[in-house]
Amino acid sequence: MKSFGYVSLAFLLALSLLTACESTRSFTGIGSSGEEELLAMVPAEEQDEVRKAEFDLQVAEEKVKLAEMKKELASLQEKLADYEKGVAKEYRKEKEVGVNLAKWETIDKAGFGEKQDNIEKIADLRSKKLKVEAERIKIKAKQDTTEEKIKDLMRQIEEQETIILNLEAGGVAATQEEDVTEQGEKPE
């Protein structure tokens, strides 16, 4: 009998919480399907605060897009700096190998050292120089494509900033005019 009472109490508690959540949801407008229908019944001249709030939300959403673009730009610029550093390091390696190659070629031309050893060493250094150069070219290609992505993203950021400036300059009045023209009436 006691367990039935506890089960009933738990059931009633769960049901009341569920009902409370539903009433709160409709009160706050979250998930309310009739919200737009109810708002449509309010005279248009009394909806200025709603239009202003919706407009402010639109501006805020555009600013979030801009911030995300700027974050992506910073990430690309960091990659670009890494690629530039990589190209510089590979260039340095290539020149270090070039110095060693020049030394061994000079030694070989002067007739010092074992001829076979000199030929093998020179061949190894030439091969190494080509590998380093190939790696530098690959990194340089990544650097160039990243630079292009940055240019494109900077153009998009400028466009987004223009959108935000136009929205802020136009204000709510511009959105009201657009609403009227969408309904097929001429703006005053």
Could you tell me the two tokens for 163? 């959108």
Is the residue at 152 inside a domain? yes
The number of distinct structural domains making up the chain is 1
Is the residue at 31 inside a domain? no
Tens digits of per-residue pLDDT, 124-142? 999 999 999 999 999 999 9
Higher pLDDT among residues 4 and 42, named by residue: 42
* 46 confidence band (pLDDT: 50, 70, 90): confident
Q: Are 164 and 66 in contact (CB under 8 A)?
A: yes
pLDDT at 180: 43
pLDDT at 18: 54
Is the residue at 44 inside a domain? no
Q: Does the pLDDT value for residue 21 go beyond 90?
A: no
Q: Does the pLDDT value for residue 155 go beyond 50?
A: yes
Is the residue at 162 inside a domain? yes
Look-up: residue for tokens 């409709």? Answer: 26
pLDDT at 127: 98
Mean pLDDT computed over every residue of the chain? 83
Q: Which of 36-45, 129-138, 172-181 ranks highest by mean pLDDT?
A: 129-138
Is the residue at 43 inside a domain? no
Could you tell me the two tokens for 27? 């009160």
Could you tell me the two tokens for 24? 């709160």
pLDDT at 10: 53
Q: Does the pLDDT value for residue 24 go beyond 60?
A: no
* 113 confidence band (pLDDT: 50, 70, 90): very high
pLDDT at 154: 98
Q: Does the pLDDT value for residue 16 go beyond 70?
A: no
Residues 6+ apart with CB under 8 A from 130: none
* 56 confidence band (pLDDT: 50, 70, 90): very high
* 118 confidence band (pLDDT: 50, 70, 90): very high
pLDDT at 183: 46
pLDDT at 32: 63
Is the residue at 141 inside a domain? yes
Could you tell me the two tokens for 114? 């074992």
Is the residue at 173 inside a domain? no
Containing structural domain, residue 70: 54-168
pLDDT at 151: 98
Q: Are 143 and 81 in contact (CB under 8 A)?
A: no
Is the residue at 17 inside a domain? no
Helices first, then strands: H and E counts in the chain: 4, 0
